[in-house]
Amino acid sequence: MEFTTFLWTTVAAFLTLAVFSFLYKDNPMYKFAEHLFVGVSAGYFVIILWHGALVPNLFKKLADGDWWYFVPGILGVMMFARFFKKSSWISRWPLAMYIGISTGLAIPLEMANRVNRQLWAMMEPINWSSFWGERYLDIGSGYSELFIFVGTISALVYFFFSKAHTGAFGAVAKFGIWTLMLGFGASFGFTVMARISLFINRIQYLDINWGQTAFNAADTSNVNYHVGFQALFWAVWLIFLVYAVFEFKKYLSNRDKPSQAAGTSA
């Protein structure tokens, strides 16, 4: 077993547990892991930007004789004027051009992906021939097209405030509320499942990458793997447990101080 493999995988495991310690409360170990992550990410993306953007898109172009690339290069240098108070106004020119160009590129894409495609899905003709489903496990699939149409109209009716939401109009608006809640719930559930997958990935890392790789145990039936990994795993958790008990005792002592002070003054 190489010591460097054991060292770096153990450091990564400790940082993973340090991040999870925030579930208890904000603490120095979590702050250390958070600051380290932000710093390493910033340094990593600086290198990616240098080798993935500046070198091929600026320096290489200039070396090939495309001298007009000096213009975006000068605009990029002008952004650094923001760090100086007297000349910070210079950075407004490249920022204005960057924001304007980005907006012009983003608006058509957003309209195409978030508006036009949604409108097309609503206006697509309903396939009445498969309304009841085509297969045994696909019963009721034909309802989806009808639901998209009715749900979209109902949601738009809900946002129509020029008429009171009463009677049949109010019933349609109420159905629009349910449609919106279903959409928000599905989006929230998708986000939660994405976070759960990240959690599962970190748990697998603790077992596979840390437990097996760090202890050089490709065969999990190895006795040394089980004994060594479990000993180190529970040792790390014991450190967190001791810290949690210490913080809880400190919380109890701080909670009792106001009452003791009140009794002394009385």
- Secondary structure class of 216 (helix, strand, coil): coil
Pair 212, 146 in one domain = yes
DSSP of 91-157: GHHHHHHHHHHHHHHHHHHHIIIIIIHHHHHHHSPP-GGGTT-SSGGGTTTTHHHHHHHHHHHHHHH
Residue 160: DSSP 8-state? -
Q: Is the pTM of this model over 0.85?
A: no
CA distance 72 to 207: 48
Low-confidence ranges of the chain (pLDDT < 70): 1-2, 126-142, 211-237, 240, 256-266
Burial class (CB in 10 A: 0-12, 13-18, 19+), 76: middle
- Secondary structure class of 201 (helix, strand, coil): helix
Over residues 115-148, the pLDDT tens digits come to 888 788 777 776 666 666 555 555 556 677 778 8
Pair 156, 206 in one domain = yes
Total domain count for the chain? Answer: 2
| Residue whose token pair is 């509320």 | 177
Specify whether the CB–CB gap between 217 and 224 falls below 8 A. yes
| Residue whose token pair is 């990410």 | 41
CA distance 248 to 49: 45
What is the domain extent for residue 165? 131-216
pLDDT at residue 5, as a whole number: 75
Pair 244, 200 in one domain = no
In a domain, 152, yes or no: yes
pLDDT at residue 173, as a whole number: 94
pLDDT at residue 266, as a whole number: 44
Pair 143, 203 in one domain = yes
In a domain, 73, yes or no: no
pLDDT at residue 132, as a whole number: 60
pLDDT at residue 164, as a whole number: 92
In a domain, 116, yes or no: no
Specify whether the CB–CB gap between 233 and 207 falls below 8 A. no
In a domain, 67, yes or no: no
